[in-house]
Structure 1
């Protein structure tokens, strides 16, 4: 009945009836891999023959002559070929099993369920027959010759392949299936296959299993590590041998990097033998696949495309670069290395990219103020280009630039306002893409009283004059407290041009209010030319509307950033940075610079003999102290692309120590994010970090001296960050509701500061940590879980991400199985609607869109109490409405937040779900998009899209809309510019 069905598109076929379903097209670049490893031509006609025989099996021999059946066969064949070509648009080899998977899926989609069922049953019977033959004959494999790099052809060494997989599964044997990995790998290996493809096939085989268990992420990483070792060392070296090989290789690596003019020649002055002996090869096995692949693609040094850096030498190279000016350089380098390689702390991406290199631009963020003249504007554009070239995220303060219609004295003309210049800023960010390693990224800030504010709000719209749109640039409102008061009170608001009200830019608090009212009175007398009056609520609603529709501008609050700034005695904070966590002074002569790094909080949870978990405050203090030293060192070692940045950084010496893995801690401590317990933990953990960070800065001041502008600062006046809440309350005269509880001995810290001063004007800032948290394998920053199972897309590709805490809990309760995996996919990684999951786990593993966003604000308010800068706070809101947005952002202001970041919204409707057999037929939802490998688009993504609004709505494979959700216009929800 099915004599040739098993040979669809690539086997031995005797039926040559081309009239069954003639196929047009050129398939010379496509091949079919048979089960024995043989490679034959890809022939769509054979798919048509196989499908026809399936119809005959169900409907009888008359089906072959039926015109209706022929049409249905042609449609199914076309669907199969289209799906296969879409997966490999440039050609390639396709395994017979993959082709048959697509046939099965196409039959189901076309409604031919009886035919599909017969086809499935036949495939299963044939599989059992092959298994029986293999069992009877013993383990036999057809000869497959591998083409090696030296040009030789040798038979595939199956024993070596098994040993490699076994090594990668070391310690994970109980949760991984080594034969399954081998079987999947062999499906993609054919006679004459290049050795590199064999290694890739094993990696891809393990990668496909990640959704079944998080352990496969480590297995995949270890297999990738094998390929990396071969590339770097020139031969395959087992992990177990690296204990000695690392020490031998390390000095050679440093020499090769220096000879290639990549590494700083001063690295050769270290005791390289001592540092090489300090490398811990076992830490290579900490990585998950996403983390190692990210390093592999974008961080490890290479010479003409060949990598020369292994993971532990990478961390030691970074540590050496940060210890260059230390007295005992080797001891400090080892100390820094141990902190980085253990994942207790991670420096920001620019530091990881460039530490120890000849161009050591290690800083993450730059803030500039743009002057109100043509020279100043184009100087700012040039500075943006230079800063972006060497991998930095930018925040530009545009408030000083005169508004549309303002008088230009030099030409006696009228200004076109800031928007045409912002268009140039946008295009500069696209053109200068951070040294070719990451997209250029910039955020423009404008105060809410600026007369161009209404057009500024519309910069990211997809309608209107495209010459006045900036589709690739971020924007943020710099909102004075007076505006918020007018909104709360329903009062009028007046817009001015800074050319007529120049002092408003540098004023805040009561002084701003006094000057602003004076300008309103002047306008009422007709003494100002560029003026517009409107209800504050009208502008507020437009701000909220644009935020919801385009994702911009973000809401950031001028007064708390300035009133609580330790450096208010020497300047004004005019904006935040790209990611809204940096709040430093800027002016025409100073570009603010911040140097970032983040503590991995989950690595500081300890467990006692009874299994109780708590925060390890002693370890946290030690990590914080070392991390602060590393960050302070960045300031002196750093390469500054522009003079203004160097001047500012050496004068104030700010750093931004942050955290990541906050959500992981809540899982470990069994505290749901949406709970008072989580809010208390946010308060407690941030207080400990703040206390020890500020203490560490006093120790550095004792050793190295206080920062030059310390005198007169809030530190110098004995006012610590949490003390400054009183200043904010006084200036606002109300509208501030914050918790002021403290637990530690802050009086002792005040005494130390009075005695020794501070080494750093600012110490804390919580950045998004998008990339470095991927490397470490924890939840980003202070973020709640996005989904418990999804596919993450970034510059390194697409990666299945699964919540290993959830899997662990489900295993303990006997609930982790194939059905649970399918359920998680069907419900977009949410556990809330899976009835068999107990309620306590549903609460603990609630995702970001399943909780009231006010919990995010509450936790952020507790942290902000202790932080001398700010935090990147994303807001997640399902079913967003004007009323909800209004209440939430007012709540954030009243709770004393300095800044907010992206608003991510979610519509109520999702696409119809379907499931398949496995692999690409049962694809996982993609974070911020859709998996290109999805064969049936298994549901809409439960999150704000990473695609710009201008992009078309993602489509399922059958071209039906995947979802009618509301997109936030964000180019990348995981902003990587800072970290």
Structure 2
């Protein structure tokens, strides 16, 4: 690692500082997602060098405000220590881009969608620019005239918001974000828009708008109509006139019934947002949309730059009697506000309008991660009134300290430019009050950050205390798997201290057992180490509300439900979120996605067939090959993946099932052609020796290499490689019962880093299998904090 002497980092008397030791997962994610790379794609920075690069770059802002070289060096030292200690991390784009050519440091943006073809496609262009730079985007489609509305300029009819959302989704699919993340979007439509029914139901098929989260912007008028059981007005946004009325309770029920099916749509209480601190400069508003995970309401052309404090680092005292170290927490909060204000100054915004808004209001979003770790240290159950009380204490402290830090910065650097017309200005509801940043706090997803910090994500509970991972560790036999238990570090320490730790207990928990079933485990451990699936949805909502009470912007959190939850259970959560002051709600019912992998699934027909074949070999009879007739039927299919065209020819057995495959691409003798010939030969022999097509497809779909991209087949619109396309087509054509357009989920035991690094997919994570495959590696994506996260390759769909 890079030296951390006081001479190098300008620490003065703090030259004894040592960076925190990084977990193996942290090293992998930094190498794959954060560090600078050479032309061969290899990381050329250590994690420590990443933190130093970011600190140096952000500290340069000091000189723009009249600071001396000493001020710059002190800021660099402060920022470096915040990150290298893992007390705090800024959002991923800042870690990736600060001090590099791109210099785009914001995680998310909101763009306006105007009701004209020119306006719509100008926004599509800007979306592509933002996604290419590494950001996510939010949109309100509420200004668009409804479908079938008359367009005077052409005398035609409008196609409506949902139709144009598909255009945005296709553009997103075509853009890869800086080689590290794919674009994420939020699409919002007001509940009083004429096309609201189509919007609510449009993701029910689980194939439409894969690059969008969607939420309904619910108004106070609508919620009052729900409570009263009356109708509400439907308004044409083009004319502003009332064009009909709808039964509020019927529309409300449609929302949470669809969310019960697969998690979409969420709800945003838009009038509440506009009446609060998230709308600090009303002349810029109203707020119409949020970023992709919902925690950051933003104006049109607004941006967010976020960062999270690792709360697990802020306890003090002996085990069993720890308290929150509020003094040190306050010190860190003040330093992080300083850092995030510098991010605004050093940011290279992707379009001029965003730069103008961002500098005018200087919005920042300081949040937290490691909340569950802190509660465990304090021995407080997550699902308890005491935990809610501590949440309010901790977040109110962070809010007060961040307000004070921003006020202090304002005295030195000046108020944000729009301050006179803000809620903090002379005529504002909270003014006059000096303020450098129009908002200070946000609870954001920490998918990547919590892996680097080795802590629990955001304000989520622990997902699992233990699970079994398979690793390839035998140097003499690289294909041999070794099973090792992965254990929550805090649980292991507590169990060993209490004398109840055993390998048998860990395996029991890894296989889905519950602590409550183990008599040898002390009650305080059972109460404290409660996991996500043990917590009733009510406690998830109440925890979100406790943090929202002292957060300027909003809180990203997924309200998890068991598979057995009813539609009425979801209704209760939605209404509780409204009553307790949340700015919105996102739910996910376990197993509600068709493709979700079950933990204890029965053996498939393919697995049974393989076992039968193995039994024949074991009995000494040898493998049996089924030969095709000399004259056979065949099917030829033309395809295109990216810019590569080719042909698949399948020879059939007498019963119409596939028995041989030929793949013809590119020029004869080329590498791609040779690889496809080899693949076709191995596939043909496998089919003839009885390996089911479903088994081959499950293993070979989602392989990722160039060429990849859009295809010529509407049933398989995007493919990650030619191999991926071939086996998706074969499955669709010949194995309809098991066919799937969505990426196949790879079992956890297959998710092993090619470098043999141990990657822990669930540690400290409130992650629920989504049923959606990762577009990078094909592994199952998990829901956490309103975000989709891959724990194999560290892709995330957070924005």
Q: So what's the TM-score if we normalise by structure 1?
A: 0.59
Question: How far apart in 2 are the matches of 1:688 and 1:568?
Answer: 27
- 1:789 — aligned with what? 466
Question: 2:566 aligned with 1:881, yes or no?
Answer: yes
Question: How far apart in 1 are the matches of 2:539 and 2:185?
Answer: 29
Following TM superposition, by how much is the alpha carbon of 1:972 offset from its aligned partner in structure 2, in angstroms?
A: 3.9
Check whether the contact 1:317–1:356 (CA below 8 A) recurs between aligned residues. yes
**Aligned pair count?**
615
Whichever structure has more strand as a proportion of its residues is: 2
Write out aligned runs for 1:196-345 (5 A). Answer: 246=3, 282-283=18-19, 286-304=21-39, 305-326=41-62, 327=67, 328-345=71-88
Aligned partner (choices 918, 930, 933) of residue 750 of structure 2: 933
Following TM superposition, by how much is the alpha carbon of 1:436 offset from its aligned partner in structure 2, in angstroms?
A: 1.4
Distance verdict in 2 for CA 1:858–1:864, change over 3 Å: same
Question: 2:257 aligned with 1:545, yes or no?
Answer: yes
Following TM superposition, by how much is the alpha carbon of 1:810 offset from its aligned partner in structure 2, in angstroms?
A: 1.1
RMSD of aligned Cα (Å): 3.5
Question: How far apart in 2 are the matches of 1:401 and 1:801?
Answer: 50
Aligned partner (choices 493, 511, 517) of residue 808 of structure 1: 493
Distance verdict in 2 for CA 1:913–1:690, change over 3 Å: farther
- 1:121 — aligned with what? none
Following TM superposition, by how much is the alpha carbon of 1:775 offset from its aligned partner in structure 2, in angstroms?
A: 0.2
Write out aligned runs for 1:668-707 (5 A). Answer: 668-707=377-416
Distance verdict in 2 for CA 1:913–1:778, change over 3 Å: farther
> Based on CA coordinates, which of the two structures has the bigger radius of gyration?
1
Write out aligned runs for 1:613-624 (5 A). Answer: 613-624=322-333
Question: How far apart in 2 are the matches of 1:409 and 1:390?
Answer: 37
- 1:470 — aligned with what? 209
Question: How far apart in 1 are the matches of 2:12 and 2:163?
Answer: 54
Q: Secondary structure at the match of 2:316?
A: strand
Aligned partner (choices 271, 278, 302) of residue 592 of structure 1: 302
Following TM superposition, by how much is the alpha carbon of 1:790 offset from its aligned partner in structure 2, in angstroms?
A: 4.1
Distance verdict in 2 for CA 1:394–1:273, change over 3 Å: closer
- 1:48 — aligned with what? none
Q: Secondary structure at the match of 2:246?
A: strand
Check whether the contact 2:379–2:524 (CA below 8 A) recurs between aligned residues. no
- 2:288 — aligned with what? 574
Following TM superposition, by how much is the alpha carbon of 1:948 offset from its aligned partner in structure 2, in angstroms?
A: 2.7
Aligned partner (choices 631, 646, 658) of residue 340 of structure 2: 631
Question: How far apart in 1 are the matches of 2:388 and 2:260?
Answer: 26
- 2:275 — aligned with what? 563
Question: How far apart in 2 are the matches of 1:792 and 1:336?
Answer: 36
Q: 1:360-379, CA deviations, whole angstroms, 9 ceiling, x for partnerless residues?
A: 11111101220000011001
- 1:911 — aligned with what? 600
Q: 1:5-43, CA deviations, whole angstroms, 9 ceiling, x for partnerless residues?
A: xxxxxxxxxxxxxxxxxxxxxxxxxxxxxxxxxxxxxxx
Question: How far apart in 2 are the matches of 1:969 and 1:427?
Answer: 22
Check whether the contact 1:247–1:276 (CA below 8 A) recurs between aligned residues. no
Higher relative contact order (CA 8 A, sep 6+): 2
Question: How far apart in 1 are the matches of 2:546 and 2:784?
Answer: 30
Distance verdict in 2 for CA 1:412–1:277, change over 3 Å: farther
Q: Secondary structure at the match of 2:444?
A: coil
Distance verdict in 2 for CA 1:657–1:274, change over 3 Å: closer
Q: Which runs of 5+ in 1 are unaligned?
A: 1-241, 251-270, 502-518, 521-527, 721-749, 915-927, 956-961
Q: Secondary structure at the match of 2:313?
A: helix
Q: So what's the TM-score if we normalise by structure 2?
A: 0.71
Question: How far apart in 1 are the matches of 2:579 and 2:786?
Answer: 27
Question: 2:551 aligned with 1:898, yes or no?
Answer: no
Following TM superposition, by how much is the alpha carbon of 1:483 offset from its aligned partner in structure 2, in angstroms?
A: 1.2
Question: 2:576 aligned with 1:819, yes or no?
Answer: no
Check whether the contact 2:262–2:589 (CA below 8 A) recurs between aligned residues. no
Write out aligned runs for 1:676-755 (5 A). Answer: 676-716=385-425, 754=432
Question: How far apart in 2 are the matches of 1:247 and 1:600?
Answer: 22
Question: 2:217 aligned with 1:481, yes or no?
Answer: no
Q: Which runs of 5+ in 2 are unaligned?
A: 471-482, 604-744, 753-761
Following TM superposition, by how much is the alpha carbon of 1:912 offset from its aligned partner in structure 2, in angstroms?
A: 6.3
Q: Secondary structure at the match of 1:321?
A: helix
Question: 2:547 aligned with 1:863, yes or no?
Answer: yes
- 2:96 — aligned with what? 353
Question: 2:796 aligned with 1:976, yes or no?
Answer: yes
Following TM superposition, by how much is the alpha carbon of 1:247 offset from its aligned partner in structure 2, in angstroms?
A: 6.9
Distance verdict in 2 for CA 1:977–1:800, change over 3 Å: farther
Question: How far apart in 1 are the matches of 2:340 and 2:786?
Answer: 34
Check whether the contact 1:683–1:859 (CA below 8 A) recurs between aligned residues. no
Question: How far apart in 2 are the matches of 1:582 and 1:966?
Answer: 18
Check whether the contact 1:246–1:276 (CA below 8 A) recurs between aligned residues. no
Following TM superposition, by how much is the alpha carbon of 1:791 offset from its aligned partner in structure 2, in angstroms?
A: 7.3
